[in-house]
Structure 1
């Protein structure tokens, strides 16, 4: 009986030693990978709802959204601007008026990805200035079909308060000026994140 227990203990030590040697050799072999403390992932998860107004100013001296690649001439019509790429640094405000309190900036780009409709790939950071969120970022990416009443996009991450963020954002156009092409979009952002 004692001999069996000793053999089991010896076998257990052998398995643990092999496991430790494997980890050490992998770390030495790559030199850029190490384990993460699992306590980092056991923080309390918070669920928050933010409402922002995205102020897209396309023309004039104070433009916040500019084209960096024009649409292909063949597709530049009322239904599509295929190939267009715009970069933006738009105000995120508390209310729909541009004079409303500034909460942050939406910084990113959009690219027209459809030959038959106003359909954009949008990738942006909501860089926030307000309260405990100052310096934190929510990263959003997704499909934005301009003529749909509500468009849903994914939250793909974040930084600061929003590390390990996930969730979704809903975009609703509040106003669109066909002459200036300036647009105000209401964003409702539903995000889970760790504090």
Structure 2
């Protein structure tokens, strides 16, 4: 009996001291990437009217009200808007913004909740994008609003920051708009 007890203790010690290695084992090396700060300025052209609309309403609330409002409360839009260097429609296209916005205010102030991916197709940021998810109140009294940069891909991997949104041109009848975005983003 005593021999079995000694043998059991020897086996337990052997099992606990054997190192375990598998093909997924690695020794991690601490690496802290260097943060970069990038400033961008571009214009977004959102067209919800006409035959070449870049934003379309895909859902709306079943409410009665002002049918002349192009973005009534509860409306959901999907968009694929061009991003340009300047505010003119003929300006050089540098990418596109794709995403969703929802008209989310019941009062007179137009407020959108926006999810957008600003993808760049030219220059040193070609193939990279910045993701924005934020509330965007559009008030004449406050011409510049901020939205949150919550991520990115490519050269903007793990991005965070903010984008200042300023309405450059807005047609209240059609709902078409040109917006200026001044973006400050920190990324790796």
Among residues 147, 164, 168, which one is paired with 1:153 in the alignment?
Answer: 147
Partner secondary structure for residue 132 of structure 1: helix
RMSD, aligned CA: 2.8
Alpha carbons of structure 1 residues 153 and 87: separation in structure 2 relative to 1, 3 Å: same
Structure 1 segment 124-135 matched on structure 2, within 5 A:
124-135=116-127
Deviation at 1:98, TM superposition (A): 1.0
The runs of at least 4 consecutive aligned structure 1 residues that moved more than 6 Å come to: none
Partner secondary structure for residue 174 of structure 2: coil
Equivalent residue for 1:66?
A: 56
Equivalent residue for 2:136?
A: 144
Name the TM-score, length of structure 1 as normaliser. Answer: 0.76
Show structure 1 runs of 5+ residues with no match. Answer: 1-16, 29-33
Q: Deviations over 1:16-73 (max 9, x none)?
A: x89x87xx9xx99xxxxx997642xx22211111011010011111110100012442
Deviation at 1:76, TM superposition (A): 4.5
Alpha-carbon separation, structure 1, partners of 2:111 and 2:65: 13
Alpha-carbon separation, structure 2, partners of 1:149 and 1:171: 8
Show structure 2 runs of 5+ residues with no match. Answer: 1-15
Equivalent residue for 1:8?
A: none
Deviation at 1:88, TM superposition (A): 0.4
Alpha-carbon separation, structure 2, partners of 1:74 and 1:89: 29
Partner secondary structure for residue 174 of structure 1: strand
Larger deviation: 156-165 or 109-118? 109-118
Partner secondary structure for residue 155 of structure 2: helix
Name the TM-score, length of structure 2 as normaliser. Answer: 0.79
Q: Which has the larger radius of gyration?
A: 2
The structure with the largest helix share of the pair is: 1
How many corresponding residue pairs?
167
